Amino acid sequence: IEHCRRAIHAGHHVVMVSVEADVVAGPLLAREAAAAGVVYSLAWGDQPALVCEHIDWARACGFEVVCAGKGTRYHPDYHQLTPDTVWDVLRQYLDIQDPQSINLKMFNSFLDGSKSGIEMTAVCNATGLTPQPNGLGFPPSSRFDLANTCKPTTDGGQLERRGTTEVVSSLNRDGSDVPHHLAMGTYVVIASETDYAQRCMGEYHMLPDSSGRYGTLYRPIHMIGMELGISVASVALRGEATGAPIGFHADVVATAKRPLKAGEILDGEGGACVWGRQLPAASSLALGALPLGLAGEVRVIRDIETGSVLTWDDVMLDENDAAVRARREME
């Protein structure tokens, strides 16, 4: 965050490849970039920027964005995974023979729900979508059933609200694989009230729901750093971000994986102590919730129950830390 602020103040454009930094202070960084006459952008190839592009497409076409998000491998038990236990899950679906060849803590952040919360928070802050009141539900869904799954409960889906984010799981709750899942992909579910648009969604195989009122666009893959040049070219040649925060709409907060005792040192994203839950920004502020990005190498000063959201008052933070100061300023 400090490096980014210095680059902005020196008059340089920034493509933020750390989505973790973006969800801690991205809205502040974007405001500072605009004031300095430079561009602050999310990184194309990472899923948040791709989801933002889906949303831009849908809105430009005149559709209502009901839900946008991505797919992942998820099971409720994964919230308790640690770097010491995650290999037992990874070996079930990755062709990797040596656990020492990968960063187990990083891979754990994908499975324990943290990375999904982080990435959907970045999407909300860049598009104005609002998280569901209780965060991500991770419903199982194939890519062909997204419009049935990611629509409001009032219409037979699994969303608590419209205009939100959701991450669909490639695993059913019994642990079996979802056929035709979207584990590496991204999507947007749209709605239109006109008969003509609804007819077109069916005629052009827009993967409509059972009512024909909702349709889906999805992208099956993302290519991470290999697509980053799109952001560089867009920023340098067009002065246009490939997604950037427009407000503080969502947050990802540290949530206890197990009982935490006063005196313990938190080990941050993907560790053994906490996972990241997405919440509406207003809910996070009301709770005084501790951002996941600030939950590394800090001491817990009171006992915390499993599943509880940690607050600023539950830990001892260095108020002179650059990231802490930026976050305080943003809030």
CATH number of the domain enclosing 323: 3.90.1210.10
CA separation for the pair 216, 153 (Å, rounded)? 17
**52 and 182 share one domain:** yes
Q: Is residue 25 assigned to a domain?
A: yes
**274 and 166 share one domain:** no
**51 and 185 share one domain:** yes
Q: Is residue 121 assigned to a domain?
A: yes
Q: Is residue 179 assigned to a domain?
A: yes
Output the pLDDT for position 99: 87
Q: Is residue 38 assigned to a domain?
A: yes
Output the pLDDT for position 95: 87
Is a pLDDT exceeding 90 seen at residue 100?
Answer: no
Quick one: average pLDDT of 147-166? Answer: 98
* Domain stop point among 187, 210, 238: 238
**205 and 142 share one domain:** yes
**179 and 304 share one domain:** no
**263 and 146 share one domain:** no
**51 and 197 share one domain:** yes
**171 and 197 share one domain:** yes
Q: Is residue 62 assigned to a domain?
A: yes
Q: How many domains does the chain divide into? A: 3
Is a pLDDT exceeding 90 seen at residue 105?
Answer: yes
Q: Is residue 85 assigned to a domain?
A: no
Range of lowest pLDDT (78-92, 148-162, 192-206, 264-278): 192-206
Output the pLDDT for position 94: 87
**24 and 168 share one domain:** no
DSSP 112-125: SSHHHHHHHHHHHH
Q: Is residue 195 assigned to a domain?
A: yes
Quick one: average pLDDT of 118-128? Answer: 98
pLDDT-based confidence at 97, cuts 50/70/90? confident
**28 and 160 share one domain:** no
Q: Is residue 40 assigned to a domain?
A: yes
Element (H, E) at 200: helix 195-203
CA separation for the pair 122, 184 (Å, rounded)? 17
Element (H, E) at 55: helix 47-60
Range of lowest pLDDT (114-128, 184-198, 293-307): 184-198
Full residue range of the structural domain in which residue 297 is found: 250-330
Distance of CA 243 to the CA centre of its chain: 13
pLDDT-based confidence at 19, cuts 50/70/90? very high
Terminal-to-terminal C-alpha distance of the chain: 15
Output the pLDDT for position 98: 87
**172 and 231 share one domain:** no
The pLDDT mean for the chain works out to: 97
Quick one: average pLDDT of 103-121? Answer: 97
* Domain stop point among 238, 264, 291: 238
**35 and 69 share one domain:** no
Q: Pairing mode, if any, of strands 186-191 and 214-219?
A: antiparallel
Quick one: average pLDDT of 224-243? Answer: 96
Quick one: average pLDDT of 59-75? Answer: 97
Over pLDDT 90: what percentage of the chain? 95
Range of lowest pLDDT (43-57, 84-98, 278-292): 84-98
